[in-house]
Chain A
Amino acid sequence: MILEVKNVSKVFGGLTAVNDVTFDLPEGQILGLIGPNGAGKTTLFNCLNGVYPLTRGTVTFRGQVLSGLPTYKVADLGIARTHQIVRPLNELTVRENVMVGACFGRENHKLGEAEEIANEVMEFVGLAARADMLAGSLNVAQKKRLEMARALAARPYLLLLDEVLAGLNVTEVSQMLNTIRAIRDQGVTIIMIEHIMHAVMNVSDRIIVLNYGTLIAEGSPVEVQANQEVIEAYLGDPDLAARLLEEERG
Chain B
Amino acid sequence: MRILRNLSFWIAVGVVVLIIAYGATGGAIRRETWFTVLLFVGLASSLNILLGYTGYVSFGHIVFFGFGGYIGFWAIDTLGMNLWLAALLGGLVSALLALGLGLAILRLRGAYFALATIGILEAMKALVINIPALGGPNGMELNFSVYRGYGGAATALWMVYWSVAAIALIVVITSYIVKKSKFGLGLMAIREDEDAAEIMGVVAPRAKTWAYVISAFFPGILGVLFFFKQGIIEPGSAFRLQLSIEMLVMVMLGGSGTVLGPILGAGAYQILRGTLLTSDLELLGMKVKDIQLAVAGVLLLIIVLFIPVGAIGWLRTRSATLRRILE
Please report A residues at the B interface, Cβ cutoff 8 Å.
Answer: 49, 51, 70-72, 75-76, 80-81, 83, 87-92, 96, 99-101, 103-106, 108, 110-111, 114, 132, 150, 154
Contact = CB atoms under 8 A, between A and B. Distances in A.
Contact of A154 (B192, B200, B257): B200
9 contacts: A49-B199, A71-B195, A87-B196, A89-B197, A103-B201, A104-B186, A104-B189, A104-B203, A105-B200
B202 A72 contact: yes
Contact of A90 (B192, B201, B203): B192
Contacts of A114: 182
A75 B200 CA distance: 6
Given A87-B195, A104-B186, 7 more contacts: A49-B199, A70-B198, A81-B199, A89-B196, A89-B197, A92-B188, A105-B200
Contact of A72 (B188, B192, B203): B203
Given A89-B193, A91-B192, A92-B192, A71 B185 contact: no
A111 B181 contact: yes
Interface string B155-184: 000000000000000000000000001100
Nearest first, the 10 closest Cβ-Cβ pairs linking A and B are A75-B201, A104-B201, A89-B192, A87-B196, A71-B198, A104-B202, A100-B189, A72-B198, A71-B199, A105-B201
Contact of A100 (B186, B195, B320): B186
Interface of B: 181-182, 185-186, 188-189, 191-193, 195-204, 257, 320
A51 B200 CA distance: 12
A157 to B, nearest CB: 13
Contact of A96 (B185, B193, B202, B257): B185
B201 A92 contact: no
Most A CB within 10 A of own CB, among B195, B196, B203, B257: B196
Contacts of B200: 75, 80, 100-101, 104-105, 150, 154
Contact of B193 (A70, A87, A103): A87
Contacts of A101: 200-201
A118 to B, nearest CB: 11
Given A103-B182, A110-B182, A111-B182, A91 B201 contact: no
A100 B203 CA distance: 12
Contacts of A108: 201
A42 to B, nearest CB: 13
The main secondary structure of chain B at its interface with chain A is helix
Contacts of B198: 70-72, 75
B25 to A, nearest CB: 39
| Most A Cβ at <10 Å: residue of B185, B186, B195, B257 | B185
A89 B182 contact: no
Nearest to B204: A72
Contacts of A92: 188-189, 192
Nearest to A77: B201
B214 to A, nearest CB: 18
Contacts of A71: 195, 198-199
Given A91-B188, A91-B192, A111-B181, A100 B199 contact: no
A91 B196 CA distance: 14
Nearest to B192: A89
Contact of B185 (A70, A81, A103): A103
Contacts of A91: 188, 191-192, 257
Nearest to B323: A132
Nearest to A160: B199
A111 B203 CA distance: 16
A16 to B, nearest CB: 24
A99 B257 CA distance: 19
Contacts of B204: 72
Contacts of B192: 88-92
A49 B185 CA distance: 22
A75 B185 contact: no
A91 B190 CA distance: 11
Which of A72, A76, A150, A154 has the largest count of B CB atoms less than 10 A from its CB? Answer: A72
A81 B201 CA distance: 11
A99 B185 contact: yes
Contacts of A106: 201
B186 A51 contact: no
Most buried by A among B193, B195, B201, B203: B201
Contacts of A90: 192
A83 B197 CA distance: 12
Nearest to A87: B196
A52 to B, nearest CB: 12
A75 to B, nearest CB: 3
Contacts of A110: 182
A109 to B, nearest CB: 8
Contacts of B181: 111
B322 to A, nearest CB: 14
B201 A83 contact: no
A106 B203 CA distance: 12
Contact of A111 (B185, B189, B197, B202): B185
